[in-house]
Amino acid sequence: MPRHVAIIMDGNGRWAVERNLPRFEGHRAGARSVREVVRRCGELGVEVLTLYAFSVENWARPAAEVGHLMSLLEHFLRTEIDELQANNVRCRAIGDLAGLPAAVRRQLELACRATADNRGLQLVLALNYSGRRELAQAVASMVESAKQRPLPTGAALEREIARHLYAPDLPDPDLLIRTSGELRLSNFMLWQLAYTEIYVTPVYWPDFGRAQLDQALAAYARRERRFGGLAAAGERASA
């Protein structure tokens, strides 16, 4: 079982268009998938679930769609607190949160504060998130720190970079799931995904539920993670 699962939730709009529905109905349906996947991860003992909910690039979408997304996010945070509490889920967020609408920020702060003492699954929402921006901000913070003490080198420098990321206490994702069949990272957790196993499914996010998550986890369980090293001796001999 992976400790940390990250998901690029893709395909809401296409799901709606193929059903002759407004795109925001796809986002509404996707919220139901979020609830189901959060529950399943909690049941299975996954420690961290990070959901790519809204990227910096998503602001370029039509204003009406962005407005629907922000309203849906605020509604989700407000109405899911009891569900999160009942399942011992801790809510967190990463990204440039100051750029979110005030109402969303307020509800996000309430949800995170209300669940801060929960010790089950950590649900991390990537909001107004950009992997490149996260790295740029980490570098800027390190440059400021370098005024007080010199930067380390080698592996110590890598640890220093990781320490300046949005959530340095979290383990790197073991498994990245991307729905809708797209084969790209979309500027998501570029540092943390260095050795993450990737699972891509053609299923649109609104159709992704417990069964699809279990399939992804089963595929992960069949893989051997070598982190650049060699396979076990027995596997090398039979290869």
10 is a catalytic site residue: yes
Angle at CA of residue 140, ends 139 and 141, nearest 5°: 90
Regarding beta strands 48-55 and 197-200, do their DSSP bridges make them parallel or antiparallel, or are they unpaired?
Answer: unpaired
Q: How long is the chain?
A: 239
- Compute the distance between CA of residue 123 and CA of residue 83 in angstroms, rounded to an integer: 12
Element (H, E) at 219: helix 210-221
- Compute the distance between CA of residue 50 and CA of residue 52 in angstroms, rounded to an integer: 7
82 is a catalytic site residue: no
Q: Which of 58, 87, 118, 187 is catalytic?
A: 58
- Compute the distance between CA of residue 138 and CA of residue 120 in angstroms, rounded to an integer: 28
Residues annotated as catalytic (active site), given as ranges: 10, 58
